[in-house]
């Protein structure tokens, strides 16, 4: 399966989704992220949070969806409200569009504790969702079941236990890999 995570600036949520998907799903999913108006670089807090959660940073960069013309996704998953109604030139008529609204942790960067908590919630939610996707793909679902499951996952959120930078064990590699 091919997934494209789309967010306007491709500097936080879509980057988190791309990295988490690679970590959780491995070879089951080909994944990319892009933006309609990509930022110049990935937000530094995004990279910091991924590193703290032991999620590889290799190959992560902001890019426009026009840079991915050869990538024809099966599903385009939008993550922010501003990209919901935008038409994406990728996937033609064959790509199915799903919306997984997630709050932008970087919007809280002036409040250190709230920002870190929001990152933790978004990462935990993405880990939860992608573990479900991994399990579903192992069952070789029909396209209709896969679409319905992806749509339902967009309404599932995880509120992890209170986490602080002093307790980065919450999403260790072991916790990410376990089902």
Which is nearest to 67 in space by CA: 10, 131, 129?
10
Mean pLDDT of 126-150: 96
* Separation CA 81–CA 133 (nearest Å): 22
Domains, the chain, ranges and CATH? 2-177 (3.40.50.2300)
- The model's confidence at residue 3, banded by pLDDT at 50, 70 and 90, is very high
Higher pLDDT, 94 or 31: 31
Question: What is the 3-class SS of 5-65, one letter each residue?
Answer: EECCCCCCHHHHHHHHHHHHHHHHCEEEEEECCCCCCCCHHHHHHHHHCCCCCCCCCCCEH
For residue 16, pLDDT over 50 is answered with: yes
pLDDT tens digit sequence for 57-103: 999 999 998 888 889 999 999 997 655 555 555 555 678 889 999 99
For residue 12, pLDDT over 80 is answered with: yes
Q: How does strand 75-78 pair with strand 96-99?
A: parallel
């Amino acid at each position: 399966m091919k997934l494209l995570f789309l967010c306007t600036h491709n500097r936080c949520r879509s980057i988190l989704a791309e990295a988490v998907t690679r970590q959780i799903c491995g070879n089951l999913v080909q994944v990319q992220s892009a933006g309609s108006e990509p930022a110049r670089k990935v937000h530094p807090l995004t990279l910091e949070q991924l590193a703290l959660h032991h999620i590889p940073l290799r190959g992560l960069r902001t890019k426009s969806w026009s840079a991915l013309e050869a990538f024809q996704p099966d599903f385009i998953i939008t993550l922010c409200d501003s990209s919901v109604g935008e038409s994406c030139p990728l996937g033609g008529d064959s790509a199915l569009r799903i919306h997984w609204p997630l709050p932008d942790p970087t919007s809280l960067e002036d409040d250190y504790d709230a920002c870190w908590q929001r990152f933790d919630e978004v990462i935990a939610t993405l880990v939860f969702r992608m573990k479900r996707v991994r399990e579903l793909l192992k069952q070789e679902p029909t396209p209709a079941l896969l679409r319905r499951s992806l749509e339902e996952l967009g309404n599932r959120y995880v509120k992890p236990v209170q986490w602080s930078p002093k307790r980065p064990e919450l999403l260790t590699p072991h916790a990410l890999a376990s089902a």
